[in-house]
Amino acid sequence: MTSVRRSNNQNEPERLPLRWAVILVSATVAAAATGAVGGPAIAIGVFIAVAGALHAMIA
């Protein structure tokens, strides 16, 4: 048995997996919190670090 869903509509784009939504939301929240204190360079670094770490943990 497989968990792949087949779509009858070929025009429908592929949906974003839930894990990527969780990763992006978490990284954005962490970056916004640190960016308010440390500035945009820190926020970008935190976003990349959190997204990379969550990707490694969830995958």
For residue 32, give the nearest of 43, 48, 21 by alpha carbon: 43
CA 46 – CA 20 distance, rounded (Å): 17
For residue 29, give the nearest of 50, 56, 53 by alpha carbon: 50
Supply the pLDDT for residue 30: 97
pTM recorded for the entire structure? 0.73
Supply the pLDDT for residue 7: 57
Q: Tokens in use for 6? A: 């087949």
Which residues of the chain fall below pLDDT 50? none
Please list the alpha-helical segments (H only) found in 1-59. 18-38, 40-58
Supply the pLDDT for residue 6: 60
Q: Tokens in use for 3? A: 């968990």
